[in-house]
Structures are given as structure tokens and as C-alpha cells.
Amino acid sequence: MFQDKTLICKDCGDEFVFTAGEQEFYKEKGFTNEPSRCKNCRDAKKNGSRGGNREFFIATCAECGGEAKLPFRPRDDRPVYCSDCFSKQKA
């Protein structure tokens, strides 16, 4: 039915194997495209660590007054929360 395929990563250019099991999983999930990145590049993209250039902004938490490290530029019209207070807000 399915056979292992060797693909080329579009980010690093390395070869990687798209296994028969992975192909079956993709089919079950309804995915129509083959992966275009190897596992390392997929993980790097998912974690935002590609190049390590992610910029963070420091703001004051609206709840506790502590430091909040944000992956986006805060706006004056919206409160921001540190990770602890944000978790409490979600609960």
C-alpha cells in the first residue's frame, strides 16, 4: 500500500524519509500535501527558533505589577499579563 519516500527539505535541503506509517497517518487525517520540511526544521519553525531572532517586549503586568515578557508589542489600550496571571485569567 504505502512505501517509504525520500523527500528534500525546503529549508535546509537535506533528505528525509516520509515513512509509510506517516503517509497512512496523513491520509487518515485528510492531509493532501506531503511534508516539505524535515523533522528538525518543522520543530524549529513550530518553536519559532529559526535563526533565533525572535524579539520580545517587556511590559508591566496589569494584575500583579510584575514583569511580563511578551512576543508582541503591547498596546496602550489593552492590558497585558505575566505568564502566571495570564494562566489565572484563562481559568
pLDDT of residue 45: 81
pLDDT at 7: 96
Ranges of beta strands (E only) in 1-91 are 5-8, 15-18, 57-60, 67-70
Average of per-residue pLDDT across 39-53: 73
Instruction: Evaluate if pTM is beyond 0.85.
Output: no
* Average pLDDT, integer, range 59-77: 91
pLDDT at residue 51, as a whole number? 53
Query: What grid cell was written down for 53?
Result: 531572532
Question: For residue 70, what are the β-bridge partners?
Answer: 57
pLDDT at 53: 64
